[in-house]
Amino acid sequence: MAEIEIKVPPVGESITEVTIGNWFKNDGDFVKMDEVICGLDSDKATFELTAEAEGVLHIKAQEGDTLSIGDRIATIDTAASGGSAPAEEAKSEAPATAAAAAPAPTEAQPEAAAEAKIYEMKVPAVGESITEVTIASWSKKDGDHVEVDEILCELESDKATFELPAEAAGTLRIVGQEGDTLAIGALICKIEQGASSGSSAPAAPAAAPQSGSVEKSVEKHASPVAAKILAEKGIDVKDVNGSGAGGRVMKDDALKAGSKPAAPAKAASAPAAAAPAPAASGNRVQRREKMSSLRKTIARRLVAVKNETAMLTTFNEVDMKPVMDLRSKFKDKFKEKHEVGLGFMSFFVKAVTVALKDFPGVNASIDGEEIIFNDFADVSVAVSTPRGLVVPVIRNAEALSFAAIEKEIVRLAIRARDGKLGLDEMSGGTFTITNGGTFGSMLSTPIINAPQSAILGMHNIVERAVVADGQIVIRPIMYVALSYDHRIIDGKDSVSFLVRVKQLLEDPMRLLLDM
């Protein structure tokens, strides 16, 4: 047997493990070179794993399993390429067996009945640090007939959500109910193999083939949790674009989908039902939603930063008039030449890269008992997306021009909002800039993006009365904040860094002359 091992590939400098999101192929399926076989999730992004050879796939790790980089995830038997034909023939014969009575299926059914047994399904191991999971929803009912690899339910842990496929064909007997929290290895359901007779199984599809096909269509194109969310919002799954394999609508897709205008109809009928209590007015409905895996990761990382760093914040204000005058003077010619607008962010990125050269400690990080200094500036720029906050990185920002920075910001922002950022585009930053001013923030204390040691917060620009050359004048002022890890950055350096940024922005010619 010529067998090729497929291992978890390196996906980023700070990524040490990944979780198997879902398998697009079943164990024993024939796969082609570069065909996508499964999706992998890390705490930063989701990416696809492709087949490294052509042959028969043998799965070694299940959905929800957490693997380290380099661990074996599957093998491909390249010598068994001829085995794909029988597998495909078997699949093509299955519908014929359910549609019409034939000698071959009648002989196979007694064998299945003779080997009738109960298969116990237990909660699989989903990661080293995960000890329990919660049953989010069942996609099958107790007593339903299920096929091998058919999705039974969706499980949630504190790190990820994954689907549980049937490990055998037969009649489902549910043990754990929706909302139950089960330990790893606990019994979740049973499958009675051969419990249903050969004639009764195909009878139901024959009586109502259309309804059965519609149900399978819905299950195929929406995960159980996504279907539940869409049902609560009153949205048809057909109206939602899925980001999963084969257009499958996932949980994030359902959360992004807007509500239908049919909602006011329910509101109109509500007063009739609530007529006996006219004193109550207004909408007092409460609802609960499970946190997405990305939101859980963001929450965990932010709490860890607060607990593990000596974080302080220093503030200053910047007169933005010189930058605004420079933009208004050259923005049209700049866009005509470079085909991109001249924004404020490029000025801040350039100012930060110059200041980081003067204060290298702000561009450093702590690794155990060592300090890592960087002679380059990989600037992370916080971008808000429907799924949460992400921080793509502008590589070697110190060597880029204003036009190159603006183009990179636009490219990364579009990829972030489309959910197409790769791990290499979000890892390895040395300093972060976040702009709360786009949402109207006047002042804030941003949280450090670990393992970095500092983050600069921009805010909105407001015209204020200030004293300049002994006279009161109106100037566009922005408050800026620098949150920093006091373990590595002293107060003097943090204040001096922010003053240096202020000087560069209030006299932008310094940026052009490298002064």
- Domain assignment present for 394: yes
pLDDT of residue 214: 38
> Would strands 181-183 and 132-138 be described as parallel, antiparallel, or unpaired?
antiparallel
Vertex 391, ends 498 and 38: CA angle to 5°? Answer: 165
308 phi-psi bin (left φ>0, alpha ψ -120 to 50, beta other): alpha
What is the reported pLDDT for 80? 62
DSSP assignment of 284-319: ------PPPHHHHHHHHHHHHHHHHS-EEEEEEEEE
Q: Is residue 7 part of a domain?
A: yes
Q: Which of 490, 493, 507, 514 is catalytic?
A: 490
Query: Cα separation of 449 and 392, whole Å?
Result: 12
Q: Residue 469: what pLDDT?
A: 86
Question: Is residue 244 included in any domain, yes or no?
Answer: no
The type of residue at 443 is L
Q: CA–CA separation, 339 vs 311, rounded Å?
A: 40
Q: Which of 76, 99, 122 is the last residue of a domain?
A: 99
Whether residue 366 is contained in a domain is answered as yes
**Alpha-carbon distance 324 to 343, whole Å?**
10
Q: For strand 431-435 and strand 454-458, is the pairing parallel, antiparallel, or unpaired?
A: parallel
Q: Is residue 42 part of a domain?
A: yes
Number of domains in the chain: 2
pLDDT tens-digit profile, the chain (515 residues): 578 888 888 876 667 788 888 888 888 888 888 888 888 877 667 778 888 888 889 898 888 788 888 888 999 888 765 444 444 444 444 444 434 444 444 444 444 444 558 888 888 877 655 778 888 888 898 989 998 888 898 887 765 567 888 888 889 999 998 878 888 888 999 998 865 444 344 444 433 444 444 344 334 467 667 777 777 777 877 777 777 656 777 777 777 776 544 444 444 444 444 555 566 667 788 888 877 766 777 788 888 888 888 999 999 999 999 999 999 999 899 999 999 999 899 999 999 999 999 999 999 999 988 999 999 999 999 888 777 778 899 999 999 999 999 999 999 988 888 878 887 888 889 999 999 888 888 999 999 988 899 999 999 999 999 998 889 999 999 999 999 999 999 999 999 999 999 999 999 888 877 76
DSSP string, 405-463: HHHHHHHHHHHHHTT---GGGTS--SEEEEEGGGGT-S---PPP-TTBSEEEEE--EEE
Q: Which residue in the list 145, 253, 486, 507 is annotated as catalytic?
A: 486
Q: Which of 47, 77, 99 lies at the terminal end of a domain, its last residue?
A: 99
pLDDT value of residue 198: 42
**Which stretch of DSSP H or E encloses residue 283?**
none
- Token pair in block for residue 47: 């990416």
Residue 217 inside a domain? The answer is no
Q: Read off the tokens for 50.
A: 């492709």
Q: How far apart are CA 434 and CA 355, in angstroms?
A: 17
From the list 292, 424, 455, the residue with the least C-alpha distance to 15 is: 424
Residue 92 CB burial class (10 angstroms; 0-12, 13-18, ≥19): exposed
CA distances from 242 to 61, 214, 234, 289 (A): 25, 17, 17, 20
CATH number, position 329 = 3.30.559.10
User: Is 41 considered catalytic here?
Assistant: no
Q: Are 458 and 438 in contact (CB under 8 A)?
A: no
- Measured N-to-C along each axis, helices 344-358 and 491-506 cross at an angle, to the nearest 10 degrees, of 140
| Distance, CA of 239 to CA of 226 (rounded, Å) | 13
Instruction: Judge whether 269 lies within some domain.
Output: no
- Cα–Cα distance between 335 and 403 in angstroms, integer? 9
What is the CATH number for 43? 2.40.50.100
Beta bridge partners of 36: 50
The residue with tokens 């059965």 is: 212
d(CA 237, CA 510): 55
Q: Which domain holds residue 41?
A: 1-99
Altogether, the residues listed in the chain come to a count of 515
Give CA–CA dist 151/221, Å, rounded: 12
Instruction: Say what the alpha-carbon torsion angle 189, 193, 194, 195 is, to the nearest 10 degrees.
Output: -20
- Spatial distance between the Cα atoms of 374 and 357, rounded to a whole number of angstroms: 10
Domain boundary, last residue among 77, 99, 121: 99
The answer to whether residue 159 sits within a structural domain is no
Q: Is 418 a catalytic residue?
A: no
- For Cα atoms 309, 389, 372, give the angle at the middle one, nearest 5 degrees: 40
Q: Residue 375 in 3-state DSSP?
A: coil
Return the pLDDT at 128. Answer: 57
Q: What distance in Å separates the CA atoms of residue 174 and residue 188, rounded to the nearest whole number?
A: 7
